[in-house]
Amino acid sequence: MPIYLCGAAQISAQQPLTDAWLTAPEALPESTLVRAIDPPFRSLLPAAESRRMGVALKRMAVVADSAMAEAGLGETDAIVVGTGMGCVESTEHFLDALCRQGERLLGPTHFMQSTHNTPASLLARRLHCHGYNATFSHEQVSFDQALYDAFLLMQTARAATVLCGGIEEVTPTFHILLRRMGYVGHAAQVACSEAAAAFVLTTQADKVMQAAAPRAILADMCMGHLPPTGDTAAKAPVVGHALDAMLGRHGLTVSDIDAVLVPNNGYAAYDALPDSLLAQHLPHVPQVAYKRLFGECFCASALGLYMAQRLIERGHIPTALVSGGMDHNMDCSKDYGQNSAVAARRLLLVNHSMATDFSLILLTSSSHAL
């Protein structure tokens, strides 16, 4: 059954709670860490509630409120959230207090807010949702796992509406650890950043199709595991086979894809898998490297989905976003909004986690439903 994305919101390195980045994107600063641009929380959240929240929780609450308001459905049957590391700032506060106070007289607040499932729990309390609630934490496919869970819930009719979110917080201390791990900080790699995004998915077509603009449909998705050893580029045929099988279920081929949103971040070792996939299976399909706008983090794919959804609703992809790979010379001062070189009717979102886990997400326009 069609699954509509009828509400979405983001807080990222681009301007929050707006789609201004489509026509006037912010150029990422020349830094290895770029924090998200926060909206005015004071005007968006009750003061008494906001004081008890860390930054990550504030972001999750705001994007969820905005997505639910845009969807206009009133309530949700389930809440699913993906996060790589949860509320890092609260975790640091808790561990710092643990060290300073010799493991005695610790307040419970920072501990309660540092667990990975805190954002999903917060949303359930604020939305009075007593249904299914789950959190997925699987590094760079954390959000993908959450979205896949929401997809299965709705395909099996266990939920008609699901609020799906992705949240990632990167503090300066955590950024140091990520650099030591070799996850970020490489030459030519995009900056490490943060992400907060929320989506309302529903099968209630009668309520969704009242909108004049085309709606994005989550047509299909698949996930898989790749052997942890061996040449990264040699794993591309496995992903390609999964892609062909997914498209075949709908009578499509790669020629039916208008564009593919790739997770390329400029680091050659990381980009080897998507580059090989594109060269072998999607050689003539336009590419959009969304991380050049939003940066790199464990839940960057949530922002990739946000971009795909907005592009489908607009019906075209601005020329500046289309490239043959990474383009660090994008002119962020130019308005590309009226230049529609590429149609956006069927988009493929590709993601992977260190070439060991991958996901493929197929989005279509409601006017080109499968």
Tokens 């807080």, residue located: 11
Task: Decide if pLDDT at 335 tops 50.
Answer: no
Q: Is the pLDDT reported for residue 193 higher than 70?
A: yes
User: How far is Cα 68 from Cα 70, in angstroms, rounded to an integer?
Assistant: 5
Q: Nearest CA to 265 among 181, 198, 369, 354?
A: 354
> Which segment, 16-20, 111-115, 203-207, is predicted with the most confidence on average?
16-20
User: For the ranges 18-27, 196-205, 252-261, which has the lowest average pLDDT?
Assistant: 18-27
- Report which of residues 9 and 331 the model is more confident about: 9
How confident is the model at residue 213, as a pLDDT?
A: 66
pTM listed for this prediction: 0.93
Report the C-alpha gap between 196 and 119 in whole angstroms: 11
pLDDT at 48 over 50: yes
> Per residue in 135-166, pLDDT tens?
999 999 999 999 999 999 999 999 999 999 99
Contact 123, 165 (CB under 8 A): yes
**β-strands 132-136, 259-262: how paired?**
unpaired
Inter-residue contact 124 to 78 (CB < 8 Å): no
pLDDT at 189 over 60: yes
**How far apart, in Å, are the Cα atoms of 198 and each of 6, 82, 341?**
11, 10, 28
Query: Which one-letter amino acid corresponds to residue 98?
Result: L
Please give the pLDDT value at position 332. Answer: 36
Contact (Cβ atoms closer than 8 angstroms) between residue 164 and residue 147: yes
Q: What is the distance between the alpha carbons of residues 271 and 352, in angstroms, rounded to a whole number?
A: 10
In degrees, to the nearest 5, what angle opens at C-alpha 259 toward C-alphas 307 and 64?
Answer: 20
Q: In this structure, what are the phi and psi dihedrals at residue 345, rounded to the nearest 5 degrees?
A: -110, -40
Is the predicted pLDDT of residue 100 greater than 90, yes or no?
Answer: no
Mean pLDDT along residues 324-331? 38
Residues counted in the chain: 370
Percent of the chain with pLDDT over 70: 93
pLDDT category at 104 given cuts 50, 70, 90 is confident
Give the pLDDT score at 211: 61
pLDDT band at 334 (very low <50, low <70, confident <90, very high): very low
Q: What was the pLDDT predicted at 232?
A: 86
pLDDT at 13 over 90: yes
Distance CA 260, CA 189 (A): 20
Higher-pLDDT residue of 24 and 62 is 62
pLDDT at residue 323 above 80? no
Q: In the chain, what's the furthest Cα-to-Cα distance?
A: 63
Mean pLDDT of 88-115: 81
> Residue 288 carries which side chain, given as an amino acid letter?
V
Q: What's the CA gap between 195 and 303, in Å, rounded?
A: 7
Nearest to 53, CA basis, from 87, 17, 21: 87
The secondary structure element, H or E, covering residue 133 is strand 132-136
Give 319's pLDDT tier (boundaries 50, 70, 90).
confident
Mean pLDDT of 35-62: 95
Query: Whole-number mean pLDDT of the chain?
Result: 90
